[in-house]
Chains A and B, each alone.
Chain A
Amino acid sequence: MAAAQRRSPLLVGISTALVLLWVVVAAFPFLWTLWGSFKVQADFFSLADWRNAWTGTFTTEQTGAAFTGQGYEGAWIQEEFWRAALNTMIVVVSVVVISLTLGTLGGYALARSGFRYTFWLLMIALVFRAMPHITLVSGYLLPFFEWNVWGHLPTAIIVLVAINQPFTLWMLHSFFLNIPKDLDESAMVDGCTRFQAFRHVIVPVMWPGVITTGLFSFLLAYNDFAVTAMLLSQQNQTMIPKIASFLGSTQQEGNVMFAVAAVVSATAPLFVLILFFQRQIVSGLTSGAVKG
């Protein structure tokens, strides 16, 4: 298709310029933060002259070199950011696996059932998704303390799975709609039960959609602040609340450079993830959401 198009040079110029501009706008804050994370606070947050962040005047003065790993050392070793990273990994992997398991079963059922209640279930799921998270969380506190389950990783995982269900159901449901009905129904004609048909016929072809949905579940669990900040104790804290705690409070000074280094560290795995899964994300979206 691309080869067949005759394009005017003007259009190509405009669209290339637009993409270039967007790339700069999207990437600049990250490059800037990455660069700044190797400086000291007086440079990166210089009030005298922002160019200090570029030249590293104070960094050189304080550490003897133009770059310093102090922020990373402080965050990872002194403040034990690795613990938070480990907790995040546990939470994220569990949330993704559980939400996808529940979501594929439910999404498949919603896609294959033609009764009117499926529509209403989908609508209710949509309204559930609209609920501000912070309201939900404040409602959990008392019962969780009462049942003595507050503060543990499994509690936060289950809550995140539940909060994530509406979106997972929606995405997977529209994805399953695109898998021809004949596929599993012919299997059932051959004597499979519904679950066997799902297990042997649908599961092998559903991966692109599942991976895309998984990415969004991943982002939700990875980026969550409201739930993890309120439901996890200090020992079980995940990365985002930990970063927030580096910033200090009204009365107490924080260490902003620890936060910057931690922000860069927390974004790095996402880079890797996108790098590996880019193709699946795009193809999954193609086959999944198109008929949205």
Chain B
Amino acid sequence: MTKAFRTTICASVLAVGGAGAALADCGTGNVSILGNDFPALQAVVAGASACEGPNVTANLTSDHRDLQVAALTANPSQYSVAVVANGSIVPLLNEGLIRPLDDLVAEHGASLDPTQLVRIEGQIMAVAFMANAQHMFYRSDILEQAGVDAPQTTADVLAAAEAIRSQGIMEYPVAIVSGAGWDLAQEFVNLYLGHGRAFFEPGSAAPAINNDAGIATLETLKALTSYSNPDYLTFGSNSVQALWEAGEVGIMMLWGSRGAGILAGENSTPEIVESTVLAAAPYVEGQTRPATTLWWDGFTIAANTSDEDAEASFLAMLNGLTPERIAANSALAVWLADGYEPTPASAGVVASAQAGAAPYPMQPYMGLMHTALGENLAAYLQGSASAQETLETIEAAYETAARTQGFLN
């Protein structure tokens, strides 16, 4: 059988959505996948490995972001596929380490939904397959007891928290993923984008957060954390989820990907699970989009790999994303691919996305801004710096980093 013929079979089978979970034909070559380590991705890799033909290997690790640039710079690259998110694709784009997928999509990608295609300057650089976002979880029973409606805005959240506290139901009714560093910076990004403002001057790398929206964001953040357990600066997602499952909080902002575990209720009680409501992230007062950022995960194909391996990799990844496979793994993620049956756990992410939440910015220097935010927000929350000083410090820290990295002069 010639290679062209085999790939045609594969594509047509995929197109009708009937690719048997086992042994689809994916051409020949070596497929090696680098990505994060979580169940949804493991399911995709299992599907990719079920391909007939290529030799599929995978390295799924939480350190993937620290490895990917070096691994794809090597020629030939160590991995033919890098699974990335909208934050981690940026270094690969900056260095030109991933290849445009237009040809492969045209030839084999009939089963892909157009919204899955991530286009940079018109060229398809990645195929997204799942989405995630931080959104609001609240306890209907607690809110009812406190006599407040489901919050819509951040002001509502604060009012509800005050009602819960003043009635003595809970001392610290709110939890957000506010651990100093990346997590806390992410909360700032969510709220700041909820104001509809940009982080940078248009078309340049100059920072633009030292404004009224920046101050308002800081103040909201401080107000939210004042209703949080005093340990809030050490809270990662694990701690926030644990607080929820112990019934310690009434309202929280947490990643949608954690929803399935919370609704499964393995570590909590039926009362907590039954009253848990997943909702869109709250709006900033008077704004039109929820204060959160949308994230996608998707796959890219290395530039420094042979065309044969690239094609085999593309086909193998598609084999991991067949409608049957997605349908079978619907509970694991909010899939963007065909075949996905939304589950209750996806309600918050879907609601946030439908309400028009912003995607996480893809500017090449956004990572530097995120780091600068993470380093300097804690001082403000602890009261050792004013809001104005904090914003100045963040801009100064960012500018130093951006100068060393060549984005500013």
Which residues of A line the B interface, CB within 8 A?
A: 40-42, 45-48, 58, 138, 141-142, 144-146, 148, 150-151, 229-230, 233-235, 237, 241, 244-245, 247-254, 256
Question: In the complex, which residue of chain A has the Cβ closest to the Cβ of B75?
Answer: A146
In whole angstroms, how far apart are the Cα atoms of A246 and B71 in the complex?
24
Asked whether, in the complex, the Cβ of B268 is within 8 Å of the Cβ of A253, the reply is: no
In whole angstroms, how far apart are the Cα atoms of A253 and B264 in the complex?
12
Other CB < 8 Å A-B pairs besides A47-B242, A245-B62, 15 of them? A42-B267, A47-B246, A48-B246, A48-B247, A48-B248, A141-B71, A145-B70, A146-B74, A146-B75, A150-B78, A234-B59, A245-B37, A248-B237, A252-B39, A253-B257
Report chain B residues within 8 Å CB of A40: 267
Interface residues of B in 37-66 (CB under 8 A from A): 37-39, 58-63, 66
**CB-CB under 8 A for A230 and B63, given A145-B73, A150-B78:** yes
Report chain B residues within 8 Å CB of A230: 63, 66-67
In whole angstroms, how far apart are the Cα atoms of A234 and B62 in the complex?
10
Q: Does B313 contact A (CB under 8 A)?
A: no
Interface residue count on the B side (C-beta < 8 Å): 41
Query: Smallest CB–CB gap between A270 and chain B, Å?
Result: 25
Report chain B residues within 8 Å CB of A249: 36-38, 62
Question: In the complex, which residue of chain A has the Cβ closest to the Cβ of B40?
Answer: A252
Report chain B residues within 8 Å CB of A42: 245-246, 267-268
Report chain B residues within 8 Å CB of A241: 61, 63
Report chain A residues within 8 Å CB of B60: 234
In whole angstroms, how far apart are the Cα atoms of A248 and B61 in the complex?
10
Query: Smallest CB–CB gap between A117 and chain B, Å?
Result: 36
**CB-CB under 8 A for A234 and B36, given A250-B177, A250-B183, A251-B132:** no
Most chain B CB within a 10 A radius of its CB, from A45, A141, A144, A145: A145
Asked whether, in the complex, the Cβ of B242 is within 8 Å of the Cβ of A229, the reply is: no
**CB-CB under 8 A for A253 and B62, given A142-B73, A145-B70:** no
In whole angstroms, how far apart are the Cα atoms of A81 and B291 in the complex?
40
Report chain B residues within 8 Å CB of A45: 242
**CB-CB under 8 A for A229 and B132, given A150-B71, A249-B38:** no
Q: Does B255 contact A (CB under 8 A)?
A: yes
Report chain A residues within 8 Å CB of B295: 251
- Sample (14) of A-B pairs whose CB atoms are under 8 Å apart: A48-B247, A141-B71, A146-B74, A146-B75, A230-B66, A230-B67, A234-B58, A234-B61, A237-B61, A247-B238, A250-B182, A250-B183, A251-B258, A252-B36
- Select one of A46, A58, A151, A247 contacting B59, CB under 8 A: A151
Asked whether, in the complex, the Cβ of B61 is within 8 Å of the Cβ of A151, the reply is: no
- Select one of B74, B238, B245 contacting A145, CB under 8 A: B74
Report chain A residues within 8 Å CB of B71: 141, 145, 150
The 6 closest A-B pairs by CB, nearest first: A145-B74, A47-B246, A141-B70, A252-B38, A42-B267, A233-B59
Report chain B residues within 8 Å CB of A145: 70-71, 73-74, 77-78
In whole angstroms, how far apart are the Cα atoms of A245 and B63 in the complex?
9
Asked whether, in the complex, the Cβ of B242 is within 8 Å of the Cβ of A141, the reply is: no
In whole angstroms, how far apart are the Cα atoms of A146 and B266 in the complex?
45
In whole angstroms, how far apart are the Cα atoms of A221 and B248 in the complex?
41
In whole angstroms, how far apart are the Cα atoms of A49 and B353 in the complex?
38
Q: Does B21 contact A (CB under 8 A)?
A: no
Q: Does B241 contact A (CB under 8 A)?
A: yes
In whole angstroms, how far apart are the Cα atoms of A125 and B222 in the complex?
49
Query: Smallest CB–CB gap between B238 and chain A, Å?
Result: 6
Query: Smallest CB–CB gap between B59 and chain A, Å?
Result: 5
Report chain A residues within 8 Å CB of B248: 47-48
Asked whether, in the complex, the Cβ of A253 is within 8 Å of the Cβ of B59, the reply is: no
Question: In the complex, which residue of chain A has the Cβ closest to the Cβ of B60?
Answer: A234
Q: Does B367 contact A (CB under 8 A)?
A: no
Q: Does B17 contact A (CB under 8 A)?
A: no
Query: Smallest CB–CB gap between A42 and chain B, Å?
Result: 4
Most chain B CB within a 10 A radius of its CB, from A45, A151, A245, A248: A248
Report chain B residues within 8 Å CB of A234: 37, 58-61
Question: In the complex, which residue of chain B has the Cβ closest to the Cβ of A58?
Answer: B267
Asked whether, in the complex, the Cβ of B58 is within 8 Å of the Cβ of A142, the reply is: no
Asked whether, in the complex, the Cβ of B237 is within 8 Å of the Cβ of A148, the reply is: no
Q: Does B13 contact A (CB under 8 A)?
A: no
Question: In the complex, which residue of chain A has the Cβ closest to the Cβ of B256?
Answer: A251
Asked whether, in the complex, the Cβ of A251 is within 8 Å of the Cβ of B257, the reply is: yes
Asked whether, in the complex, the Cβ of A252 is within 8 Å of the Cβ of B267, the reply is: no
Asked whether, in the complex, the Cβ of A142 is within 8 Å of the Cβ of B74, the reply is: yes
Interface residues of B in 243-281 (CB under 8 A from A): 243, 245-248, 255, 257-258, 261, 266-268
Asked whether, in the complex, the Cβ of B63 is within 8 Å of the Cβ of A229, the reply is: yes
Query: Smallest CB–CB gap between B263 and chain A, Å?
Result: 12
Report chain A residues within 8 Å CB of B196: none
Query: Smallest CB–CB gap between B159 and chain A, Å?
Result: 26
In whole angstroms, how far apart are the Cα atoms of A249 and B261 in the complex?
14
Asked whether, in the complex, the Cβ of A251 is within 8 Å of the Cβ of B38, the reply is: yes
Q: Does B361 contact A (CB under 8 A)?
A: no
Asked whether, in the complex, the Cβ of B257 is within 8 Å of the Cβ of A252, the reply is: yes
Q: Does B356 contact A (CB under 8 A)?
A: no
In whole angstroms, how far apart are the Cα atoms of A229 and B243 in the complex?
30
Asked whether, in the complex, the Cβ of B237 is within 8 Å of the Cβ of A251, the reply is: yes
Query: Smallest CB–CB gap between A262 and chain B, Å?
Result: 15
Query: Smallest CB–CB gap between A228 and chain B, Å?
Result: 11
Query: Smallest CB–CB gap between B277 and chain A, Å?
Result: 19
Report chain A residues within 8 Å CB of B245: 42
In whole angstroms, how far apart are the Cα atoms of A86 and B66 in the complex?
25
Report chain B residues within 8 Å CB of A41: 266-267
Question: In the complex, which residue of chain A has the Cβ closest to the Cβ of B257?
Answer: A251
Question: In the complex, which residue of chain A has the Cβ closest to the Cβ of B74?
Answer: A145
Annotate B211-250 by CB proximity to A: 1 below 8 A, 0 otherwise. Answer: 0000000000000000000000000111001110111100
Report chain A residues within 8 Å CB of B62: 244-245, 249
In whole angstroms, how far apart are the Cα atoms of A130 and B116 in the complex?
48
Report chain A residues within 8 Å CB of B242: 45, 47
Query: Smallest CB–CB gap between B169 and chain A, Å?
Result: 15
Query: Smallest CB–CB gap between A84 and chain B, Å?
Result: 13
